[in-house]
Chain A
């Protein structure tokens, strides 16, 4: 059903919180996601020409690296991009077959691979590029929030989290109910000022990004400091000239 669901009062809003202050850009989350969605009960993800000249495939999670600001304020930020499980998900409403849907009980946005016709309109509707077309299966695929892990009672409770969250070595990824203001993820978002990417488009993403923390001020080295000790600077200059010959 491609109308957006009216969530029940006790419905959850499951999502991820990604800490851009901590992410080191190791791509472990991308690899873990690819492995889980290719090696377990999900349909295999396309992986064409993997060792050849033009590898091409479907990944649900992709890590971009951005250079932000200049000078002392400049930094490199690693930005993992995957489905944000938006509340006003246009990818759900544009789907003509109902294959793209948002679950009322937990807000997870999914694609039913048995009814998807592969028209690609959902990928056009998503501003974040969350959906990719699988050429081998002829259907659209996207982050499932590991619904096959989080509800799997045969897994130990500690492992019932998305693969990307479980594997992150820097603990930059968090999973939980963002609809519960007392949950750990909600408190994290409140403390750190978690935000939506591209909020001006009005998709109301569930996932939040935590911004890099401001740097402590770095004092600029003073020029023309009087030399410590007895004319050490003059000695250095003489030594430079000596060894430059």
Chain B
């Protein structure tokens, strides 16, 4: 599948923002936020900036962005519509959370925070379900996609949270371990997913796609057109195994190993160096996630390619 830059950017950056909102909300609900907490307010502002930037970016993918408000109407049947509703709904408890933290009403901040966390998590679930529900794409239509989207949101959110905490003068080490554990859990899930897609293929074949398998093997003799078309550009995009392998290693090194090492270093050094390390960790994690999301599209094979010469998806 053709990786649209606007969508890759949106799912990663907004995902990080929603993950950060979940952690802030749960933290507030658990009484971990101090009244008028600088970390809480900075975190909220950062998270909402990430979310908003991502949502704006996703509009560039549309043929008619001016009609985008219509995408809120079909939530009864469409995951994309549900994602739109949830993404906008999240701003409401987030605003309440912000006002309460600023005003020092920490019990109400906890209530709004938990609601904010629920809406934010729901939005990420809806995003994942858009892909998970698509039957023609074997690499998306499986049980790994939902946990992966959630874990990337949480681990990126944790990396950004750690950075926000350090910038706000909170020097506790437990958040470093939490973020490290989240990154490691995400890595384990992602590696398991890659084994799965390498070992399995979609059920449809050229024989079932044409129904001509009863006569023997089906091979494309002549494509319907000599040039390209929308289907081949959008669904026929394929990355070579060799290049995918190199990019996967890059994801592991930049997106998983580097942040974990930097977090460990931050736990062991002085506060000034630790700040540099956690900023680099958030950066590395985000870059790694962008490469991972690009690959998530590039390694996906759509069943329409079976009509255009693919022997399996």
A residues contacting B by CB (< 8 A) are: 1-3, 20, 30, 54-59, 62-70, 73-77, 79, 81, 90, 92-99, 115-121, 123-129, 132-135, 137-140, 195-203, 209, 211-212
Contacts and interface: CB of A to CB of B under 8 A. Distances in A.
B74 A95 contact: yes
A64 B63 contact: no
26 contacts: A54-B228, A55-B227, A56-B228, A56-B229, A57-B229, A59-B224, A59-B229, A66-B212, A67-B218, A68-B218, A68-B219, A69-B216, A70-B217, A76-B221, A79-B210, A96-B70, A120-B234, A123-B231, A124-B1, A124-B136, A125-B136, A127-B302, A129-B307, A197-B208, A197-B211, A198-B208
Contacts, number: 205
A133 B136 contact: no
B229 to A, nearest CB: 7
B63 A116 contact: yes
Interface residues of B, number: 58
B224 A3 contact: no
A21 to B, nearest CB: 11
Interface string B135-171: 1110000000000000000000000000000000000
A199 B210 CA distance: 10
B interface secondary structure, majority: mixed
Contacts of A30: 224
Contacts of B216: 68-70, 73-74
B19 to A, nearest CB: 23
Contact of B223 (A64, A95, A123): A64
Interface of B: 1, 61-65, 67-68, 70-74, 76-81, 84, 130, 133-137, 203-204, 206, 208-212, 214-225, 227-231, 234-235, 302-304, 307-308
Given A98-B70, A120-B234, A127 B210 contact: no
A137 B209 CA distance: 30
A195 B211 CA distance: 7
Given A68-B218, A127-B204, A202-B135, A62 B224 contact: yes
Contacts of A116: 63-64, 67
